[in-house]
Amino acid sequence: MAENLGAVNGSLSEETRQTLLEWNRHDDEADRFCMHDDEDSPDSRYVDLLLNPERYTGYKGPEAWQIWNSIYEENCFKPYTVRRPLNPLLSGSGLCVEKRAFFRLVSGLHASINVHLSARYLLNDNWFKRKWGPNVTEFQLRFDEELTTGEGPKRLRNLYFLYLIELRALAKVLPFFQRPSIHLYTGDAEEDKQIKELLLELLHVAKSFPLHFDETTLFAGDKTEAAKLKDDFRQTFKNISRIMDCVGCFKCRLWGKLQTQGLGTALKILFSEKLIETLPQSSREKPSFQLSRQEIVSLFNAFGRISTSIRELENFRKLLSELKQ
Protein backbone atom coordinates (compact mmCIF):
# COMPACT_ATOMS: atom_id res chain seq x y z
CA MET A 1 0.00 0.00 0.00
CA ALA A 2 2.84 2.40 0.85
CA GLU A 3 4.23 2.12 -2.70
CA ASN A 4 0.81 2.91 -4.14
CA LEU A 5 0.08 5.87 -1.83
CA GLY A 6 3.58 7.25 -2.32
CA ALA A 7 3.32 7.32 -6.10
CA VAL A 8 3.31 10.73 -7.77
CA ASN A 9 0.76 11.88 -10.33
CA GLY A 10 3.02 13.20 -13.08
CA SER A 11 0.34 14.40 -15.46
CA LEU A 12 0.69 18.00 -16.72
CA SER A 13 -1.45 19.91 -19.15
CA GLU A 14 0.16 20.99 -22.43
CA GLU A 15 -0.32 24.61 -21.36
CA THR A 16 1.60 23.97 -18.14
CA ARG A 17 4.44 22.28 -20.03
CA GLN A 18 4.85 25.23 -22.37
CA THR A 19 4.76 27.70 -19.47
CA LEU A 20 7.51 25.79 -17.66
CA LEU A 21 9.72 25.90 -20.76
CA GLU A 22 9.23 29.65 -21.02
CA TRP A 23 9.70 30.16 -17.28
CA ASN A 24 13.13 28.54 -17.42
CA ARG A 25 14.28 31.36 -19.69
CA HIS A 26 13.40 33.86 -16.95
CA ASP A 27 15.18 31.94 -14.20
CA ASP A 28 17.92 33.52 -12.09
CA GLU A 29 21.08 31.86 -10.88
CA ALA A 30 22.00 32.19 -7.21
CA ASP A 31 24.26 31.10 -4.38
CA ARG A 32 22.16 28.31 -2.93
CA PHE A 33 21.79 26.62 0.42
CA CYS A 34 20.32 23.46 -1.11
CA MET A 35 21.33 20.98 -3.77
CA HIS A 36 18.92 21.69 -6.61
CA ASP A 37 18.14 18.99 -9.14
CA ASP A 38 19.29 19.52 -12.69
CA GLU A 39 16.07 20.38 -14.50
CA ASP A 40 17.60 19.32 -17.81
CA SER A 41 18.42 15.85 -16.53
CA PRO A 42 16.41 12.97 -18.09
CA ASP A 43 15.80 11.72 -14.54
CA SER A 44 14.06 14.96 -13.49
CA ARG A 45 10.34 15.49 -13.92
CA TYR A 46 7.86 18.27 -13.28
CA VAL A 47 4.85 17.51 -11.11
CA ASP A 48 1.71 19.48 -10.31
CA LEU A 49 1.68 19.97 -6.52
CA LEU A 50 -2.10 20.40 -6.55
CA LEU A 51 -2.44 16.85 -7.91
CA ASN A 52 -0.02 15.47 -5.30
CA PRO A 53 -1.07 16.77 -1.85
CA GLU A 54 1.13 16.00 1.13
CA ARG A 55 -0.51 13.30 3.22
CA TYR A 56 -0.04 9.87 4.79
CA THR A 57 1.60 7.35 2.44
CA GLY A 58 2.35 4.43 4.75
CA TYR A 59 6.08 5.14 4.48
CA LYS A 60 7.52 4.17 7.86
CA GLY A 61 9.74 1.67 9.58
CA PRO A 62 13.55 1.38 9.66
CA GLU A 63 14.19 3.24 6.39
CA ALA A 64 12.15 6.31 7.38
CA TRP A 65 13.74 6.31 10.84
CA GLN A 66 17.24 6.03 9.37
CA ILE A 67 16.68 9.05 7.10
CA TRP A 68 15.81 11.39 9.98
CA ASN A 69 18.42 9.81 12.23
CA SER A 70 21.05 10.61 9.58
CA ILE A 71 19.84 14.19 9.36
CA TYR A 72 20.05 14.72 13.12
CA GLU A 73 23.23 12.78 13.82
CA GLU A 74 25.30 13.90 10.83
CA ASN A 75 24.09 17.46 10.37
CA CYS A 76 22.93 19.02 13.63
CA PHE A 77 26.43 19.77 14.90
CA LYS A 78 28.18 18.39 17.95
CA PRO A 79 28.24 20.13 21.35
CA TYR A 80 31.19 22.40 22.00
CA THR A 81 32.22 25.01 24.54
CA VAL A 82 29.87 27.97 24.54
CA ARG A 83 31.81 31.23 24.12
CA ARG A 84 29.03 33.70 24.78
CA PRO A 85 25.69 33.79 26.64
CA LEU A 86 22.83 31.87 25.11
CA ASN A 87 19.60 33.49 24.03
CA PRO A 88 16.93 32.09 26.43
CA LEU A 89 14.74 31.28 23.42
CA LEU A 90 17.44 29.07 21.93
CA SER A 91 19.15 27.80 25.07
CA GLY A 92 20.50 24.27 24.96
CA SER A 93 23.29 22.51 26.78
CA GLY A 94 26.60 22.54 24.93
CA LEU A 95 25.45 24.36 21.79
CA CYS A 96 25.91 27.96 20.77
CA VAL A 97 22.93 30.07 19.77
CA GLU A 98 23.39 29.50 16.05
CA LYS A 99 23.76 25.75 16.21
CA ARG A 100 20.89 25.40 18.65
CA ALA A 101 18.75 27.42 16.23
CA PHE A 102 19.72 25.10 13.40
CA PHE A 103 18.69 22.04 15.40
CA ARG A 104 15.35 23.63 16.23
CA LEU A 105 14.71 24.42 12.57
CA VAL A 106 15.31 20.82 11.53
CA SER A 107 13.15 19.59 14.42
CA GLY A 108 10.41 22.04 13.43
CA LEU A 109 10.52 20.81 9.84
CA HIS A 110 10.24 17.22 11.03
CA ALA A 111 7.32 18.16 13.29
CA SER A 112 5.51 19.98 10.48
CA ILE A 113 5.74 16.94 8.20
CA ASN A 114 4.40 14.71 10.99
CA VAL A 115 1.47 17.05 11.56
CA HIS A 116 0.58 16.88 7.86
CA LEU A 117 0.72 13.08 7.86
CA SER A 118 -1.50 12.91 10.94
CA ALA A 119 -3.98 15.46 9.57
CA ARG A 120 -4.31 13.82 6.13
CA TYR A 121 -4.34 10.20 7.26
CA LEU A 122 -5.85 7.36 5.25
CA LEU A 123 -8.83 6.50 7.45
CA ASN A 124 -10.57 4.13 5.06
CA ASP A 125 -9.45 2.41 1.87
CA ASN A 126 -11.82 0.26 -0.16
CA TRP A 127 -12.39 -0.55 -3.80
CA PHE A 128 -14.47 2.52 -4.64
CA LYS A 129 -13.27 5.31 -2.35
CA ARG A 130 -10.47 6.47 -0.06
CA LYS A 131 -11.27 8.59 2.97
CA TRP A 132 -8.64 11.00 4.31
CA GLY A 133 -8.84 12.92 7.57
CA PRO A 134 -7.27 13.67 10.97
CA ASN A 135 -6.02 10.70 12.98
CA VAL A 136 -5.87 11.71 16.64
CA THR A 137 -4.15 8.48 17.70
CA GLU A 138 -1.36 9.00 15.16
CA PHE A 139 -0.97 12.60 16.31
CA GLN A 140 -0.68 11.53 19.93
CA LEU A 141 1.96 8.90 19.08
CA ARG A 142 4.09 11.65 17.58
CA PHE A 143 3.43 14.55 19.97
CA ASP A 144 1.81 13.45 23.26
CA GLU A 145 4.08 14.38 26.18
CA GLU A 146 3.81 11.00 27.91
CA LEU A 147 4.01 8.85 24.77
CA THR A 148 7.12 10.72 23.56
CA THR A 149 8.81 10.93 26.98
CA GLY A 150 8.47 14.71 27.00
CA GLU A 151 9.76 15.32 23.46
CA GLY A 152 6.40 15.99 21.75
CA PRO A 153 5.79 19.50 23.18
CA LYS A 154 9.37 20.48 22.35
CA ARG A 155 8.83 19.42 18.74
CA LEU A 156 5.72 21.58 18.53
CA ARG A 157 7.55 24.59 20.01
CA ASN A 158 10.21 24.10 17.36
CA LEU A 159 7.46 24.12 14.73
CA TYR A 160 6.43 27.61 15.88
CA PHE A 161 10.08 28.66 15.87
CA LEU A 162 10.40 27.51 12.26
CA TYR A 163 7.26 29.48 11.39
CA LEU A 164 8.75 32.67 12.84
CA ILE A 165 11.98 32.18 10.90
CA GLU A 166 10.21 31.69 7.58
CA LEU A 167 7.83 34.56 8.30
CA ARG A 168 10.82 36.81 8.97
CA ALA A 169 12.37 35.76 5.66
CA LEU A 170 9.19 36.76 3.80
CA ALA A 171 9.31 40.18 5.42
CA LYS A 172 12.99 40.61 4.54
CA VAL A 173 12.61 39.60 0.89
CA LEU A 174 9.94 42.23 0.14
CA PRO A 175 12.41 44.69 -1.52
CA PHE A 176 13.51 41.96 -3.94
CA PHE A 177 9.98 41.40 -5.27
CA GLN A 178 9.07 45.10 -5.21
CA ARG A 179 11.51 45.89 -7.99
CA PRO A 180 9.84 46.67 -11.36
CA SER A 181 12.27 44.31 -13.08
CA ILE A 182 10.91 41.27 -11.20
CA HIS A 183 8.22 39.41 -13.12
CA LEU A 184 6.58 36.15 -12.04
CA TYR A 185 6.28 34.59 -15.43
CA THR A 186 3.15 32.45 -15.96
CA GLY A 187 2.69 32.83 -19.69
CA ASP A 188 -0.08 35.40 -19.37
CA ALA A 189 0.83 39.08 -18.92
CA GLU A 190 -2.36 39.99 -17.07
CA GLU A 191 -2.03 37.02 -14.75
CA ASP A 192 1.61 37.94 -14.12
CA LYS A 193 0.50 41.35 -12.90
CA GLN A 194 -2.25 39.98 -10.65
CA ILE A 195 0.02 37.37 -9.09
CA LYS A 196 2.72 39.93 -8.33
CA GLU A 197 0.14 42.23 -6.69
CA LEU A 198 -1.12 39.36 -4.52
CA LEU A 199 2.43 38.34 -3.66
CA LEU A 200 3.37 41.86 -2.57
CA GLU A 201 0.20 42.05 -0.49
CA LEU A 202 1.19 38.80 1.26
CA LEU A 203 4.72 40.08 1.92
CA HIS A 204 3.40 43.36 3.35
CA VAL A 205 1.18 41.35 5.73
CA ALA A 206 4.22 39.31 6.78
CA LYS A 207 6.19 42.50 7.40
CA SER A 208 3.40 43.95 9.56
CA PHE A 209 3.57 40.99 11.98
CA PRO A 210 4.49 42.52 15.39
CA LEU A 211 6.48 39.63 16.91
CA HIS A 212 9.17 38.82 14.35
CA PHE A 213 12.17 36.71 15.24
CA ASP A 214 15.22 38.91 15.83
CA GLU A 215 17.92 37.40 13.63
CA THR A 216 20.49 39.90 14.92
CA THR A 217 21.03 37.49 17.83
CA LEU A 218 22.64 35.11 15.33
CA PHE A 219 26.22 35.52 14.12
CA ALA A 220 26.73 38.54 16.36
CA GLY A 221 30.10 37.53 17.78
CA ASP A 222 33.59 37.47 16.29
CA LYS A 223 33.43 38.15 12.53
CA THR A 224 35.75 35.29 11.61
CA GLU A 225 33.84 32.81 13.74
CA ALA A 226 30.50 34.15 12.45
CA ALA A 227 31.62 33.67 8.84
CA LYS A 228 32.70 30.11 9.64
CA LEU A 229 29.33 29.38 11.26
CA LYS A 230 27.46 30.73 8.23
CA ASP A 231 29.47 28.47 5.96
CA ASP A 232 28.74 25.56 8.31
CA PHE A 233 25.04 26.33 8.01
CA ARG A 234 25.23 26.36 4.22
CA GLN A 235 27.22 23.14 3.93
CA THR A 236 25.16 21.33 6.54
CA PHE A 237 21.93 22.28 4.83
CA LYS A 238 23.26 21.02 1.52
CA ASN A 239 23.97 17.70 3.24
CA ILE A 240 20.34 17.51 4.36
CA SER A 241 19.25 18.11 0.76
CA ARG A 242 21.38 15.18 -0.34
CA ILE A 243 19.99 12.92 2.37
CA MET A 244 16.44 13.71 1.23
CA ASP A 245 17.35 12.11 -2.11
CA CYS A 246 17.60 8.78 -0.26
CA VAL A 247 13.91 8.77 0.71
CA GLY A 248 12.34 5.70 -0.91
CA CYS A 249 8.81 7.10 -1.13
CA PHE A 250 8.55 9.38 -4.20
CA LYS A 251 5.81 11.62 -2.78
CA CYS A 252 7.57 11.85 0.60
CA ARG A 253 10.78 12.82 -1.19
CA LEU A 254 8.92 15.43 -3.24
CA TRP A 255 7.47 17.25 -0.23
CA GLY A 256 10.50 16.69 1.98
CA LYS A 257 12.84 18.23 -0.59
CA LEU A 258 10.46 21.08 -1.35
CA GLN A 259 10.20 22.06 2.32
CA THR A 260 13.93 21.60 2.86
CA GLN A 261 14.65 23.89 -0.09
CA GLY A 262 12.07 26.36 1.19
CA LEU A 263 13.83 26.57 4.55
CA GLY A 264 17.20 26.81 2.84
CA THR A 265 15.90 29.72 0.76
CA ALA A 266 14.59 31.42 3.92
CA LEU A 267 18.05 31.12 5.51
CA LYS A 268 19.66 32.46 2.35
CA ILE A 269 17.39 35.52 2.55
CA LEU A 270 18.14 36.15 6.22
CA PHE A 271 21.87 35.87 5.58
CA SER A 272 21.66 38.31 2.65
CA GLU A 273 19.85 41.25 4.26
CA LYS A 274 22.45 43.87 3.27
CA LEU A 275 22.56 42.60 -0.32
CA ILE A 276 18.77 42.82 -0.57
CA GLU A 277 18.72 46.34 0.84
CA THR A 278 21.14 47.56 -1.86
CA LEU A 279 19.49 45.87 -4.86
CA PRO A 280 19.43 47.99 -8.02
CA GLN A 281 16.01 48.96 -9.33
CA SER A 282 17.07 48.83 -12.97
CA SER A 283 17.17 45.53 -14.82
CA ARG A 284 20.29 46.76 -16.66
CA GLU A 285 22.38 46.46 -13.49
CA LYS A 286 23.43 43.01 -12.33
CA PRO A 287 21.84 42.32 -8.90
CA SER A 288 24.00 41.11 -6.03
CA PHE A 289 21.15 38.94 -4.74
CA GLN A 290 19.01 36.59 -6.84
CA LEU A 291 16.42 33.86 -6.39
CA SER A 292 15.87 31.05 -8.86
CA ARG A 293 12.43 29.83 -9.86
CA GLN A 294 12.92 26.70 -7.75
CA GLU A 295 13.79 28.81 -4.73
CA ILE A 296 10.75 31.06 -5.17
CA VAL A 297 8.38 28.11 -5.57
CA SER A 298 9.86 26.23 -2.61
CA LEU A 299 9.92 29.32 -0.35
CA PHE A 300 6.21 30.03 -0.63
CA ASN A 301 5.06 26.42 -0.72
CA ALA A 302 7.15 25.61 2.36
CA PHE A 303 5.66 28.57 4.22
CA GLY A 304 2.22 27.37 3.14
CA ARG A 305 2.96 23.95 4.62
CA ILE A 306 4.15 25.40 7.93
CA SER A 307 1.08 27.66 8.10
CA THR A 308 -1.16 24.67 7.41
CA SER A 309 0.56 22.71 10.18
CA ILE A 310 -0.21 25.41 12.72
CA ARG A 311 -3.83 25.55 11.57
CA GLU A 312 -4.07 21.74 11.89
CA LEU A 313 -2.70 21.95 15.43
CA GLU A 314 -5.75 24.01 16.41
CA ASN A 315 -7.98 21.33 14.93
CA PHE A 316 -6.19 18.57 16.84
CA ARG A 317 -6.49 20.55 20.08
CA LYS A 318 -10.23 20.79 19.49
CA LEU A 319 -10.53 17.05 18.73
CA LEU A 320 -8.50 16.12 21.82
CA SER A 321 -10.62 18.41 23.97
CA GLU A 322 -13.78 16.73 22.69
CA LEU A 323 -12.38 13.28 23.48
CA LYS A 324 -11.75 14.31 27.11
CA GLN A 325 -15.34 15.48 27.64
Query: pTM of this prediction?
Result: 0.78
The pLDDT confidence band at residue 70, using thresholds 50, 70 and 90, is low
- 127 annotated binding-site participant: no
Catalytic residue among 34, 76, 96, 249: 249
* Whether residue 196 has pLDDT greater than 80: yes
pLDDT digits (tens, 9 = 90+) for 86-110: 333 444 445 677 778 888 888 999 9
13: domain range?
2-324
Q: Of the ranges 43-47, 263-267, 290-294, which is most confident?
A: 263-267
Query: Exposed, middle or buried, 262 (CB in 10 Å: 0-12/13-18/19+)?
Result: buried
The question of whether 246 is a catalytic residue gets the answer no
**DSSP-derived secondary structure for 166-181:** HHHHHHHTHHHHHSTT
Please say whether the beta carbons of 275 and 268 come within 8 A. Answer: no
pLDDT digits (tens, 9 = 90+) for 21-66: 545 544 444 455 555 555 555 567 777 788 877 777 666 655 666 6
The confidence score (pLDDT) of residue 34 equals 57
* Averaged pLDDT, 205-232: 75
- 149 annotated binding-site participant: no
| Position with higher pLDDT, 317 vs 271 | 317
For residue 131, which phi and psi values (nearest 5 degrees)? -115, 125
For the chain, what is the domain count?
1
The pLDDT confidence band at residue 3, using thresholds 50, 70 and 90, is low
- 55 annotated binding-site participant: yes
The confidence score (pLDDT) of residue 92 equals 46
- 116 annotated binding-site participant: no
- 255 annotated binding-site participant: no
Please say whether the beta carbons of 304 and 166 come within 8 A. Answer: no
* Averaged pLDDT, 66-95: 51
The question of whether 249 is a catalytic residue gets the answer yes
